[in-house]
Amino acid sequence: MRTHREYLANELKDEAFAREFRREKAQLRIAYDIQTTRQRLGLTQRDLAGMAGVTQQMVSRIETARTPNMTHGSICKIAEVLGMDVGLVARRPAHAVAKASKKLCG
């Protein structure tokens, strides 16, 4: 019997699956971070929505990762109210990315 980790490692070999897995993982990370920070600050979804200039429904959809089209603007407004930054995190060290790019481009 394989472990979950072994199963996932095998599934991630499929490029389409890996791409969708990373997208979903990123949405869940955003949802978790926003919800836990909001709760830690003692804010309701309605409070946060009012302060950020978005609807309570938008906050709810973001916190449950149910919105396939989270706009950068909405995320930034919510992050600002929560005292958070929005940014990108590299999956691989920069030198590995540069090396891979050279192989593709040259």
Centre a 10 Å sphere on the Cβ of residue 83 and count the other Cβ atoms it contains.
8
SS3 content of the chain, % helix, strand, coil (to 5): 70, 0, 30
Structural domains of the chain sorted by starting position, each given as residue range(s) with its CATH number in brackets: 4-105 (1.10.260.40)
- The verdict on pTM exceeding 0.85 is no
Hunting for tokens 């909001």 — which residue is that?
Answer: 38
pLDDT digits (tens, 9 = 90+) for 10-64: 999 999 999 899 888 888 998 999 999 999 999 999 999 999 999 999 999 999 9
Query: With contact defined as beta carbons under 8 Å apart, do 33 and 5 qualify?
Result: no
pLDDT digits (tens, 9 = 90+) for 68-80: 677 888 899 999 9
